[in-house]
């Protein structure tokens, strides 16, 4: 019988494979239909906006109704909406369907994080890192696979994604063995310093990278089609960013510095800001690949810091998972909206410089937050 955590790892891989497929297919289809930057921003924001709002509720509901029930129901809703997207080319209808799709996803992700964290003990960091590796592999496969499928038969991309989500429902219905056993040696020589603002700073950093990364990603289909970049190359560029994040998730469990210091988090974000500005300057696919790789690596760092600090400090795992995912989702919703507005009022490349500037401002906000908390001696 499979262990519960192994089921969750595989389910996470499959779910983000489908999420990458649906989000790529919807925005690429809209761009090829002549959607404006504002409309692309709307498409990118609607589903993740409802996800962020529903995640706050779904995590707490799973604390009461059970992880399996909430996760399977959310998957069923998401699968139905992914299928429905195949039958319309109207941007407004796609936005509506995607908003319900996001609500369905909210039933799965906070629940899965909470489910995985229960009984983890000293293995929490290892489990969350493996979980992050799994969903990143799903994004990489999803972007690359959907780019190839979409190039030949656009509608099939939605069918594939819906079928993958349906398989997750079956996976979550399998009998499993509880995962209260350790994943390996639970050696934690360092602990997150209490009262120094680590969790809230990580939330803000995660919000910053999700906002700016999602904003740049939502605008890129327009730039890609304008430059004549093929759908398969476009998908590979997005997969490159997730591949870099995957490497970060593999390395972080072996390192301790990020659990006791905040300055590396700020330096990493500053490097990401440079890479986002680089997208606005680049023309060649290799340059885009480099920029997406750097931004992807930093997003992996901020995500892992946020989810680890949250689940280590909070005892209500469903609530903690919901808060972490809501912060992530809020950034991913605001990013496309703001970047789309900038692109509509200025130029095709202006959103990337805007995202870089916003990221720098949010780094400064994190520093101020830590300075104020530490001098006021406010408990975490």
Look at residue 2 in the predicted model and tell me its pLDDT. Answer: 64
State pLDDT tens for residues 22-46: 988 888 778 777 877 778 777 777 8
| Whole-number Å distance between alpha carbons of 85 and 94 | 6
Task: Pick the more confident residue, 191 or 332.
Answer: 332
Going by pLDDT thresholds of 50, 70 and 90, the confidence category of residue 187 is very low
Q: What are phi and psi of 348, to 5 degrees?
A: -65, -30
- Tell me the mean pLDDT in the region 308-335: 86
Which residue's structure tokens are 């609530």?
A: 319
Task: Pick the more confident residue, 63 or 207.
Answer: 207
Look at residue 80 in the predicted model and tell me its pLDDT. Answer: 96
Look at residue 380 in the predicted model and tell me its pLDDT. Answer: 45
Q: What is the DSSP letter of 185?
A: -
| Whole-number Å distance between alpha carbons of 265 and 91 | 38
**Whole-model pTM above 0.85?**
no
Q: Which of 265, 293, 255 is nearest to 204 (CA)?
A: 265
The answer to whether the CB of 290 falls within 8 A of the CB of 237 is no
- Tell me the mean pLDDT in the region 318-325: 87
Look at residue 377 in the predicted model and tell me its pLDDT. Answer: 57
Say whether pLDDT at 190 is over 60: no
Say whether pLDDT at 200 is over 90: no
Q: What's the token pair of residue 230?
A: 């093929």
Look at residue 156 in the predicted model and tell me its pLDDT. Answer: 82
Cβ neighbours around 121 below 10 Å, total: 13
- For 288, residues 6+ apart whose C-beta sits below 8 A from its C-beta are 237, 279, 282
Going by pLDDT thresholds of 50, 70 and 90, the confidence category of residue 183 is low
| Whole-number Å distance between alpha carbons of 71 and 104 | 9
- Tell me the mean pLDDT in the region 278-306: 93
The answer to whether the CB of 104 falls within 8 A of the CB of 83 is no
Min mean pLDDT across 61-65, 146-150, 303-307, 354-358 is at 146-150
Cβ neighbours around 282 below 10 Å, total: 20
Q: Which of 302, 310, 210 is nearest to 265 (CA)?
A: 302
Q: Which of 234, 258, 212, 239 is nearest to 360 (CA)?
A: 212
Say whether pLDDT at 180 is over 60: no
Going by pLDDT thresholds of 50, 70 and 90, the confidence category of residue 189 is very low
Cα distances from 236 to residues 139, 141, 208, 281, 288, in angstroms, run 11, 9, 24, 19, 11
Q: What is the full DSSP assignment across 32-72? A: HTT--HHHHHHHHHHHHHHHHHHHHHHHHHHHHH-HHHHHH
State pLDDT tens for residues 87-98: 888 888 888 999
Min mean pLDDT across 181-185, 224-228, 258-262 is at 181-185
- For 375, residues 6+ apart whose C-beta sits below 8 A from its C-beta are none
Tell me the sheet residues that pair with 177. 3
The answer to whether the CB of 200 falls within 8 A of the CB of 192 is no
Say whether pLDDT at 1 is over 60: no
| Whole-number Å distance between alpha carbons of 269 and 266 | 5
Q: What's the token pair of residue 213?
A: 């990364």
Look at residue 168 in the predicted model and tell me its pLDDT. Answer: 95
State pLDDT tens for residues 129-142: 899 999 888 888 88
SS3 175: coil
Residue 242: give the domain boundaries.
4-181+190-376
- For 146, residues 6+ apart whose C-beta sits below 8 A from its C-beta are 20, 21, 24, 25, 157, 160, 161, 235
Which residue's structure tokens are 């830590």?
A: 370
| Whole-number Å distance between alpha carbons of 242 and 374 | 34
Look at residue 196 in the predicted model and tell me its pLDDT. Answer: 62
Min mean pLDDT across 81-90, 139-148, 152-161, 244-253 is at 139-148
Residue 267: CATH number of its domain: 1.20.1250.20
- For 338, residues 6+ apart whose C-beta sits below 8 A from its C-beta are 41, 211, 215, 354, 358
Max CA-CA distance within the chain? Answer: 59
Report how many domains make up the chain. 1
């Amino acid at each position: 019988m499979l262990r519960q955590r192994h089921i969750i790892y595989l389910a996470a891989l499959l779910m983000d494979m489908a999420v990458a497929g649906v989000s790529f297919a919807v925005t690429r289809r809209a761009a090829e239909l002549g959607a404006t930057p504002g409309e692309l921003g709307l498409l990118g924001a609607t589903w993740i906006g409802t996800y962020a709002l529903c995640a706050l509720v779904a995590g707490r509901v799973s604390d009461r109704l059970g992880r399996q029930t909430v996760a399977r129901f959310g998957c069923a809703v998401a699968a139905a909406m992914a299928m429905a997207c195949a039958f319309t080319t109207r941007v407004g209808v796609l936005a509506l369907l995607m908003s319900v799709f996001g609500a369905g996803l909210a039933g799965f992700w906070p629940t899965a994080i909470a489910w995985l964290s229960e009984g983890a003990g000293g293995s929490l960091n290892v489990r969350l890192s493996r979980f992050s590796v799994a969903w990143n592999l799903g994004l990489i496969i999803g972007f690359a696979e959907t780019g190839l499928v979409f190039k030949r038969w656009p509608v099939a991309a939605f069918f594939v994604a819906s079928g993958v989500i349906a398989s997750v429902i079956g996976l979550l219905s399998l009998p499993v063995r509880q995962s209260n056993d350790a994943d390996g040696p639970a050696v934690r020589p360092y602990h997150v310093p209490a009262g120094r603002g680590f969790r809230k700073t990580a939330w803000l950093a995660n919000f910053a990278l999700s906002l700016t990364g999602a904003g740049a990603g939502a605008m890129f289909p327009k730039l890609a089609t304008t430059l004549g970049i093929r759908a398969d190359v476009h998908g590979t560029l997005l997969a490159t960013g997730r591949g870099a994040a995957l490497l970060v998730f593999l390395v972080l469990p072996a390192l301790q510095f990020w659990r006791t210091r905040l300055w590396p988090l700020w330096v990493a974000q500053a490097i990401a800001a440079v890479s986002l500005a680089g997208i606005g300057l680049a023309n060649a696919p290799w340059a885009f690949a480099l920029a997406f790789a750097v931004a992807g690596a930093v997003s992996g760092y901020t995500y892992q810091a946020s989810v680890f600090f949250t689940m280590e400090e909070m005892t209500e795992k469903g609530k903690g998972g919901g808060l972490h995912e809501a912060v992530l989702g809020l950034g991913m919703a605001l990013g496309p909206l703001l970047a789309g507005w900038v692109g509509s009022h200025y130029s095709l490349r202006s959103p990337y410089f805007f995202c870089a500037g916003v990221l720098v401002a949010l780094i400064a906000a994190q520093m101020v937050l830590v300075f104020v908390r530490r001098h006021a001696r406010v408990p975490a």
